[in-house]
Structure 1
Amino acid sequence: MTQDERLSRMEAVTDATLSRLDASDLLDELLDRVRDLLGADTAAILLLDEHAGQLVATAAKGLEDEVRRGFRVAVGRGFAGRVAMTRRPVMLTDVGPGDVVNPILLAKGVRSLLGVPVFAAGDLVGVLHVGRLTPGPFTADDVHLLQLAADRAGVAGAIRSRRLDQSAALAVQRSLLPERLPTIPGVDLAARYIPGHDFGIGGDWYDVFHLDGGRLGIVIGDVSGHGLASAVVMGRIRSALRAYALIADDPAEVLTLLDRKVRHFEAGNLTTALYAIVAPDRSSIRISSAGHLPPLLARPGEPAAAIDLPRDPPLGIGTHHLGRHATTVALPPSSVLVCYTDGLVERRDEVIDVGIDRLSGHVRPEPAEAVCNGIMLDLEAGPRTDDVALLVLRREH
């Protein structure tokens, strides 16, 4: 490549017109230009969530599903995590299953990867990477150009602006959802939350907490509506449920108390919730549902199926319910319990039972994180209009 050609390529990603675009458009345009100039099939930016120590897929071309499905990877894990940990360019010339932790990269057929760190004011704020569907090395010029593009995004403020927006949403989310799931002896846990809108938080939630005597409380719920208003109501309901869980030992009683609170203080906010208590020896789980979709259970040697539960009315419907029900279900070793909200299974053109059956096909007695990944990988393509919350529990022994 001649000097003039090299300069022309650099100008394409440092064009002053980029600085006049807003953060979202700038990142999209930058990824388009980088993908074209490097002859790549994919390009993506992951921003650093410092609090969680994870990279969050934020913008992508050719890998849009990883943004839509809320893909995250811990710093130090996988390809992008390695770039963030070393703060240096990383190249993979023949990608194999052991090289990446993002199943979407493998499903796409990416065979070579080049990634560089993204800095803003000297701080690591993310990772920019490109991929090709054919194996082979990138050149030194490719590395230089990709790093230039990453630096351009940071200097232009696009990364910082998007990261500030993302950080605000994450701060709200952290105050309402568990930052990290607790480490529980004998139990393997994994969860996902994906908002159905740009703000990044809504009325769906999950929760896991310790109870007296070695018991474990797990919750999943859905407040009607979207955005910050629903999230605020959800936060109040979540806190109330935790309080009632400390004074009542039966899930049905906890939801009865919560229903009274919602009807009195949160009138007009329809809420579904499922609350379950795992026994100290993890051999069983006692579940009560307030209008929520039934969890799925996969036992070794058996296909996954929805648990047959009495589906009591949702919380806050405006009438006093005389009694709620709780069901005890056996949880043999290696069993997997999947709790979810309707955004995961509901489609406009089909009855919800079809979505539940489709989901059950991805639930197997496997590690919780693998089950989560398999479910999220099957999420329908296209923009989401409803939030998704997913909580997976596996009894280890």
Structure 2
Amino acid sequence: MADAELVTNEERLRRFEAITDPILSNLNVADLFEELLDRVRDLLKVDTATILLLDGHTGELVATAAKGLEEEVRRGFRIRVGVGFAGRVAATAAPVVIYDVTPADVVNPILLDAGVRALLGVPMLANGNLVGVLHVGSLSLRHFGADDVQLLQLVADRASSAGQVRAQVLARQAALALQRSLLPSRLPDILGLELAARYVPGHDLGIGGDWYDVFTLPSGWLGAVIGDVSGHGLPSAVVMGRIRSALRAYALDCHDPAEVLTSLDRKIHHFEAGTLTTALYALIAPDRTTVHLSCAGHLRPLLAVPGQPARLVDLVVDRPFGVGRPPADRHTTVLDLPPGATLVFYTDGLVERRGELIDTGIERLANAIQSGPTEALCDHIMAAAADERPTDDVALLAIRRAD
């Protein structure tokens, strides 16, 4: 069937039923792609069929499934939107037909080496957003007509939905894996201190830029940090991971929290330009009687001393990271930590509410802080102060000195 104009109504129906077959719904994404490519090759009598999915981080189309051009997938072929044949389909979000392929039409050497002479490509769209490109090719000259384009677009639409689901699943899996690797799975057992923490995501991916960390240093000091990288999802989590690792490295070389944050700011300014980040870094002395704190634009911690209401710690709040040139005069505050006292670190997702002053949320948090075991305290805080349906990540860290 060389010309789509010759397609009969009976053939159109066969094509439609082959692509809308309910059995396809039972396949996983990889198998669905393979089956769709097999069927479209048979229906259009073409030699090659390829799905390239868009990598949202790089802006490139990545060969994900192929029939007749399997080498594309094996080599991990990728191409930027707007470049070459597939890039042109993606950039225009419209079908593209090439009757006689020449080196000027394509930049993928695999297509030329395979001897592809004619190409038809259509965009894969989901809710108006580009998901990828589906293209088929023939080793002989042929015309692709309107019925061919319509059929291939139908296949692309079915693959687009699966491709979007696949991207969401992969992003969720990556985010959860990153969360497990970066947020402490278990807080350390520290003589003379009791620790507890909570992390609650405020969005679907399950992780963002909020983080906390607790670590011991060779000197016997205990480092505790809480921070917030602007944004949500996997990109913010990746930046957060790099910042967390850098802070740990600087902490090994310096026991002044202000100097550690100064070094971290220089790193962010150079390597993470455009990233707005806040952090609160504390060093607790080996005898647990004092805490040295430095704050980079983060919310001040709360201190609860037995027999007294919880209060905000009086410290200097320096500029966040990534704002202007790194300041050379960050400050360190030394705070007494009496027996039984509890320090509470938190991110803004715990105290911010739409249409409400943040001071109101901080006061609500302060009223929720009670003396006693930190695990029970964190449970009480989350029940009394956290939003039932958070729209922002919540990180909470409580450190109590033993009585």
- TM-score band, normalised by the shorter chain? 0.5 to 0.7
Return the alpha-carbon distance in structure 2 between the equivalents of residues 338 and 203 of structure 1: 19
- State how 1:106-145 maps to structure 2 within 5 Å: none
1:374 is matched with which residue? Answer: 380
Does 2:358 correspond to 1:384?
A: no
* 1:153-195 Cα shifts (integer Å, max 9, x gaps): xxxxxxxxx9999765432201111111111111110000111
| Residue 193 of structure 1, aligned match among 182, 185, 199 | 199
CA shift for structure 1 position 318: 2.7
Are the aligned partners of 2:198 and 2:396 in contact in 1 as well (CA < 8 Å)?
A: yes
Are the aligned partners of 1:251 and 1:275 in contact in 2 as well (CA < 8 Å)?
A: yes
Does the C-alpha gap of structure 1 residues 338 and 223 become closer, same or farther in structure 2, counting only changes over 3 Å? same
2:276 is matched with which residue? Answer: 270
Does the C-alpha gap of structure 1 residues 168 and 305 become closer, same or farther in structure 2, counting only changes over 3 Å? same
SS of match in other structure, 2:219? helix
Are the aligned partners of 2:262 and 2:326 in contact in 1 as well (CA < 8 Å)?
A: no
Return the alpha-carbon distance in structure 2 between the equivalents of residues 250 and 385 of structure 1: 35
SS of match in other structure, 1:361? helix
Does the C-alpha gap of structure 1 residues 263 and 164 become closer, same or farther in structure 2, counting only changes over 3 Å? closer
2:249 is matched with which residue? Answer: 243
Does the C-alpha gap of structure 1 residues 242 and 378 become closer, same or farther in structure 2, counting only changes over 3 Å? same
Are the aligned partners of 2:365 and 2:385 in contact in 1 as well (CA < 8 Å)?
A: no
Are the aligned partners of 1:300 and 1:335 in contact in 2 as well (CA < 8 Å)?
A: yes
Return the alpha-carbon distance in structure 1 between the equivalents of residues 398 and 354 of structure 2: 25
Are the aligned partners of 1:202 and 1:228 in contact in 2 as well (CA < 8 Å)?
A: yes
1:329 is matched with which residue? Answer: 335
Return the alpha-carbon distance in structure 2 between the equivalents of residues 269 and 168 of structure 1: 21
* 1:212-264 Cα shifts (integer Å, max 9, x gaps): 22110000000000000000000000000000000011000000000000000
2:360 is matched with which residue? Answer: 354
Are the aligned partners of 1:267 and 1:318 in contact in 2 as well (CA < 8 Å)?
A: no
Return the alpha-carbon distance in structure 2 between the equivalents of residues 164 and 180 of structure 1: 26
| Residue 188 of structure 2, aligned match among 174, 178, 182 | 182
TM-score (norm 2): 0.57
The residue type equivalent to 2:348 in the other structure is D
Are the aligned partners of 1:291 and 1:311 in contact in 2 as well (CA < 8 Å)?
A: yes
SS of match in other structure, 2:180? helix
Return the alpha-carbon distance in structure 2 between the equivalents of residues 356 and 255 of structure 1: 24
The residue type equivalent to 1:177 in the other structure is L
The residue type equivalent to 2:295 in the other structure is S
- State how 1:252-263 maps to structure 2 within 5 Å: 252-263=258-269
Return the alpha-carbon distance in structure 1 between the equivalents of residues 387 and 273 of structure 2: 35
| Residue 302 of structure 2, aligned match among 286, 296, 317 | 296
Pairs aligned (count): 239
Structure of greater Rg = 2
Are the aligned partners of 1:365 and 1:394 in contact in 2 as well (CA < 8 Å)?
A: no
| Residue 237 of structure 2, aligned match among 227, 231, 234 | 231
CA shift for structure 1 position 322: 2.6
| Residue 285 of structure 2, aligned match among 279, 284, 294 | 279
* 1:303-352 Cα shifts (integer Å, max 9, x gaps): 10000110000011132313000101110111110000000001121111
Are the aligned partners of 2:175 and 2:237 in contact in 1 as well (CA < 8 Å)?
A: no
* 1:352-385 Cα shifts (integer Å, max 9, x gaps): 1111111001112211101100011124555322
| Residue 172 of structure 1, aligned match among 175, 178, 199 | 178
TM-score (norm 1): 0.58
Q: Which runs of 5+ in 2 are unaligned?
A: 1-24, 29-167
Report the aligned-residue RMSD. 2.1
The residue type equivalent to 1:245 in the other structure is A
Does 2:370 correspond to 1:364?
A: yes
The residue type equivalent to 2:217 in the other structure is L
Does the C-alpha gap of structure 1 residues 381 and 359 become closer, same or farther in structure 2, counting only changes over 3 Å? closer
Return the alpha-carbon distance in structure 2 between the equivalents of residues 277 and 174 of structure 1: 24
